[in-house]
Structure 1
Amino acid sequence: MHAPSPTSDPTQVLADALAAEYAAVWAYGVIGVHLTDAARTAARAAEAAHRSRRDALLLQLAEGSGQVPADRAGYALPFPVTDRAGALRLAVEVEERTAGHWRAALPHTTGPDRNTALAALTDCALRATRWRRTAGVTPVTVAFPGRTA
């Protein structure tokens, strides 16, 4: 799980977004273990959404540039996750970080790629809001989703 790179190359920003999607899918495996009932169902749905976006982006990059970043065997978590509270905190963090990568892609993409980036940013922002609400975090929304500072 890393910060977006400062690049203006459309292929690179999409590759960075793909790396963020890889990390999100991996993190939801950790998150889901610590949740039950509706929260676990929401984690599964979030993981499926990230898998779908990852798969579409994999195909797009493979067909376009042929430069597809590899997935890693594991990712460093920003903090230990040992309980429900930590899992919810990580879910918010994952969505915010992934949103940051899609936000970074917006000024460097056009047409369908820009639409993809905007849809992904919106999806991440909505999921982060839901996770904040589930965790009891206020405010539940942020003014500029995906902004790192």
Structure 2
Amino acid sequence: MTPEPSPAGRPLEAAQAALAAEHAAAYGYGVIGARTAGARSTEAREAYAGHLARRDALARTVRELGGAPRPSEAAYALPFPVRSPADAERLAAEIEDRVAGAYSDLVRASEGPLRRMAADALSAAAVRAARWRGVGVAFPGLTERAQGARTS
């Protein structure tokens, strides 16, 4: 059994996890951008820019919480091959679900302005996931709810 992090360390660990999710999202949107065109390509570029901005804000937050921001990986394993625009849209929805999950954890672990920022980021990810998927989920950020949307 692994010990629970101290209450003081929970916001930092949750911020680090959200930062990791943003790193992965930025990488994933590079793949998505290469497989989309037209309006979807514009949507992918806007999402990419949004994830970069949140990534940078989280890096500052991690420093403010006394940590060293974890760097991004050189590459990330994609959950499935992305060969078509439909695959790219599915990947975008998956990325946003994962980002929403990370921010959901940060909402639970934090308070005050950090909690507000995490809630805003969770909401933005949920909206993007719904746009990419064509349908939203009742409780974004909760894995079991997102699974139901993917299978229906």
1:76-124 CA distance string (max 9 Å, x none): 0000101111100000000001000001111110001100110000000
Q: Distance in 2 between matches of 1:107 and 1:89?
A: 27
TM-score, normalised by the number of residues in structure 2 = 0.87
Q: Distance in 2 between matches of 1:110 and 1:14?
A: 12
Please, which of 122, 126, 148 is the counterpart of residue 143 of structure 2?
Answer: 148
Give the letter for the 1:98 counterpart.
V
Structure 1 residue runs of 5 or longer lacking an equivalent are 1-5, 134-139
Q: Tell me, what secondary structure is at the counterpart of 2:69? A: coil
> Which position in structure 2 is the counterpart of 1:85?
86
Give the letter for the 2:75 counterpart.
G
Q: Tell me if 1:115 matches 2:116.
A: yes
State the Cα distance separating 1:64 from its structure 2 match: 3.0
> Which position in structure 1 is the counterpart of 2:150?
none
Report the number of matched residues: 138
Q: Distance in 2 between matches of 1:75 and 1:106?
A: 25
> Which position in structure 2 is the counterpart of 1:48?
49
Structure 2 residue runs of 5 or longer lacking an equivalent are 145-152
State whether residues 97 and 140 of structure 2, in contact with CA within 8 Å, keep that contact through their aligned partners in structure 1.
yes
1:30-51 CA distance string (max 9 Å, x none): 0010100000000000000000
TM-score, normalised by the number of residues in structure 1 = 0.89
**Structure showing greater relative contact order (alpha-carbon pairs closer than 8 Å, 6 or more residues apart):** 1
State the Cα distance separating 1:61 from its structure 2 match: 1.4
Q: Tell me if 1:62 matches 2:63.
A: yes
State the Cα distance separating 1:66 from its structure 2 match: 3.1
State the Cα distance separating 1:59 from its structure 2 match: 1.6
Give the percent of matched residue pairs that are identical in Structure 1 and Structure 2: 46
Displaced runs of 4+ in structure 1, greater than 2 A?
none
State whether residues 12 and 67 of structure 2, in contact with CA within 8 Å, keep that contact through their aligned partners in structure 1.
no
> Which position in structure 1 is the counterpart of 2:100?
99
Q: Distance in 2 between matches of 1:107 and 1:74?
A: 29
- The CA RMSD over aligned residues, in Å, is 1.3
State the Cα distance separating 1:70 from its structure 2 match: 1.4
State the Cα distance separating 1:67 from its structure 2 match: 2.1
